[in-house]
Amino acid sequence: MAFMEPFRIKMVAHLADITKEERVEALHRRHYNPLQLSDQEINFDLWTDSGAAAMSHQQWAAMLQAHEGSINPDSFDKFEDTIRSITGFPYVFPVHQGRAAEHLLFSMYSKPGLAIFSNTMYSTGKTLANVLGASQKDLPCKRVRGEFFNGNIDCERLEQELSESDIAIVVLTVTSNHQAGQPVSMANIRRTSEICRRYRIPLFMDGCRFEENAYFIKIREKSYGDMSARAIALEMCSYFDGMYLSAKKDAMCSIGGCFATKLLDLREKFDEMVETFEGRRRYGGMAARDLDAVAIGLTEGIEDRYLKYRIESLSTFGDILKKAGVPIVEPVGSAIYINAARCLPHIPTEQYPAWALHCALYIEGGIRCNYLDDALKFDDSNERENPQPHHFLRICLPRRAYTLSHMLHIGEVFEKLLAKRERISGIRIVQRCIGMSKMLLEPVNASLIDIN
């Protein structure tokens, strides 16, 4: 039996009413870069799940009742109490989004020779480490086909690195974006914590999807099957010195974030840093209404009933795409990763098969997703027997925004495209820019795809 959405729809946003011919013209006008298309030209916007969730009526009601402009907003008390109860961290700081907390944290530890180790760090962390003059190194576990926790950090390599480092911090990203959205096991978290404590190295969590990770532990790590996701999340956090998160993911909000810690010395430093860079201690760059929305979103997001729907919807979406013949990374984690090089084997690597597939998906179904080149830190299955370049598309599923019928329709779009895959042209870059959204491209052939 397919999953059932544990909610009813109270407000709707209409999908774009744009023909295939109009999409061809729009894509040509935007230089074959779907990331430049306007929202009104998109039917299914699957490029990110960040800030794209449908908020609940409780969240909207709380936002309308919040008192703005206060130096001491009551909304902070709810925000603080919620995060304390879910994570166990006593010291909580609001920030305008996750990367702000990341910036403040890394700045505090920044010294000549600082090394930052991670299973895989998000791109903002890598850039920030470089700006601060720190070295950043990812230590992903070796991907094992069928393994449930391919987001783990390689503990053997971590121990070796820490034994050779004078100044270091460790950040575990859960779930791990650049390991195909795969979760991190409690056993790996616990062992990482033990190693860090032995070397007296601080351990932090990038917890943007820590609630989803908790549910993955519940259903994939045998000894946790009878525990609630909330209890699992509390245990996860107990192994860390602190965490930062963007509220645009698990908290199902448009903006916001936080840093939380149990280290008193960090609390004192954050007090000063937040006041300097984010705003006053009790709102940290956030509106009071957003503090309320985050508190309610995190509470709704840690409920087992919701998480069961969330994880099963991702898994079901993956099954729909597999049935359509789409090669995806398995098991499905917090997003769906598609090997575009295997979808379009006739397109050589230098003609960007993932870009070509992305453009074809937009023409055929008005779908926007996210292009990835070789950024994924894992080896795909059967690589030794059948080596393939890693050109991936990532499909994110915004929380509570799309229904099962939408997923079935998207599966049909893929099936239709793959039936005529030989007619999809490769892509060449006309103008390279910093940031993929600014790049200008064109099809190698006269047209990207025969639209009939």
Give the whole-angstrom CA distance, residue 224 versus residue 232: 8
DSSP designation for 436: G
Digit-coded pLDDT (tens) for 79-128: 999 999 999 999 999 999 999 999 999 999 998 999 999 999 988 888 88
Identify the band that residue 1 occupies on the pLDDT scale cut at 50, 70 and 90: low
What are the tens digits of pLDDT across the range 151-166?
Answer: 999 999 999 999 999 8
pLDDT at 33 over 70: yes
Q: Is the pLDDT of residue 373 over 70?
A: no
Fold equal for 20-49+304-443 and 57-301: no
Cα 153 to chain centroid distance, Å, stands at: 17
Q: Which residue has the tokens 């950090």?
A: 153
How does the average pLDDT of the chain come out, rounded? 91
pLDDT, one tens digit per residue, over 325-358 is 999 999 999 999 999 999 999 999 889 999 999 9
- The more confidently predicted of residues 380 and 75 is 75
**Does position 387 have pLDDT exceeding 50, yes or no?**
no
Cα distance between residue 26 and residue 362, in whole Å: 10
Our CA angle for 139, 140, 146, nearest 5°, is 160
User: Residue 191, by phi and psi: left (phi above 0), alpha (psi -120 to 50) or beta?
Assistant: alpha
Please state, in angstroms and rounded to a whole number, the distance separating the CA atoms of residues 438 and 211: 33
Model confidence pLDDT, tens digit, residues 257-315: 999 999 999 998 898 888 888 888 888 889 999 999 999 999 999 999 999 999 999 99
Categorize the per-residue pLDDT at 380 as very low, low, confident or very high, splitting at 50, 70 and 90: very low
- The residue-averaged pLDDT of 202-218 equals 97
> Which candidate, 331, 305, 260, 299, places its Cα nearest to that of 98?
260
Residue 222, pLDDT > 80, answer yes
Note whether 442 and 428 are within 8 A (CB): yes
Residue boundaries of the structural domains of the chain = 20-49+304-443, 57-301
Fold for domain 20-49+304-443? Answer: Aspartate Aminotransferase, domain 1 (3.90.1150)
Which residue intervals of 110-163 are DSSP H helices?
123-131, 155-163
Which CATH topology does 57-301 take? Aspartate Aminotransferase; domain 2 (3.40.640)
